[in-house]
């Protein structure tokens, strides 16, 4: 997988944005420079059934317009039904090799991990990238678990230097550089973008930090 597509990976669902229009939030983030988007529709008030499918199709169309990969969280059947670019699963959401077989070799497959062994297993089973975290304390995911720190990123990279790896969990604009310097291909962000008053400007500022970090500039 092209690692540049993972530099600023935006994760969002309607429970993350209050009363705002999810498509307006997504478009602001796309204009601001996100490089991948994952629809993660979970939690109280999350859309289901036909409403979820409609939202997913609308998000997919926006991502296509900006030439950004569109990933569906967990729901493999939905991802296949609407022709998403890929799917992201957690450790309890399916067997990685079985999901890979189901979606085929050309779709993107991401897997959440929080240990070296889980990252190695996911890579061996056909994952294109792993999400590692939570790196810092976060309120965006109720089941996130304790923070593991950027040291885990460094450890995984030392074992699998070619693996595409995205840090996730409590990453703010100020912490994005630290994650990149630890060896991550990019950062996955929810609240640092959705909490911004101006989504496009907030996203652009975070993207700037990541770009500087990838060129070796300390911030």
8 A C-beta contact, residue 162 and residue 152: no
Give me the residues paired with residue 8 across strands. 187
Question: DSSP for 172-219?
Answer: -HHHHHHHHHTT-SEEEESHHHHT-SSHHHHHHHHHHHHHHHHTT---
Annotated catalytic residue within 5, 107, 141, 209: 141
Q: Answer whether 43's CB lies under 8 Å from 214's CB.
A: no
- From its phi and psi, is residue 170 left (phi > 0), alpha (psi between -120 and 50) or beta? left
Catalytic, 40? Answer yes
1 SS3 class = coil
185 is catalytic: no
Q: Is 112 a catalytic residue?
A: yes
Catalytic member of 112, 140, 177, 185: 112
| CA 155 to mean position of chain CA atoms | 20
| 5, 40, 60, 209: the active-site residue | 40
Catalytic residues: 40, 112, 141
């Amino acid at each position: 997988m092209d690692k540049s597509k993972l530099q600023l990976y935006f994760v969002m669902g309607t429970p993350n944005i209050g009363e705002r229009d999810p498509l307006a939030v997504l478009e602001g983030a796309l204009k601001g420079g996100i490089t991948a988007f994952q629809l993660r529709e979970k939690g109280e008030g999350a859309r289901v059934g036909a409403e979820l499918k409609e939202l997913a199709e609308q998000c997919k169309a926006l991502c296509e317009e900006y030439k950004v990969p569109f990933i569906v969280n967990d729901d493999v059947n939905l991802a296949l039904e609407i022709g998403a670019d890929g799917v992201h699963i957690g450790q309890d959401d399916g067997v990685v090799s079985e999901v890979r077989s189901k979606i085929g070799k050309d779709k993107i497959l991401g897997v959440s991990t929080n240990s070296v062994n889980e990252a190695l297993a996911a890579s061996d089973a056909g994952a294109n990238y792993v999400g590692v975290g939570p790196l810092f304390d976060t309120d965006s995911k109720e089941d996130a678990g304790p923070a593991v720190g950027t040291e885990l990123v460094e450890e995984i990279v030392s074992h699998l230097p070619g693996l595409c790896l995205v840090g996730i969990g409590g990453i703010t604009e100020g912490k994005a550089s630290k994650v990149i310097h630890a060896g991550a291909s990019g950062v996955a962000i929810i609240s640092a973008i959705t909490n911004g008053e101006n989504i496009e400007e907030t996203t652009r500022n975070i993207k700037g930090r990541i770009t500087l970090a990838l060129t070796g500039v300390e911030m």
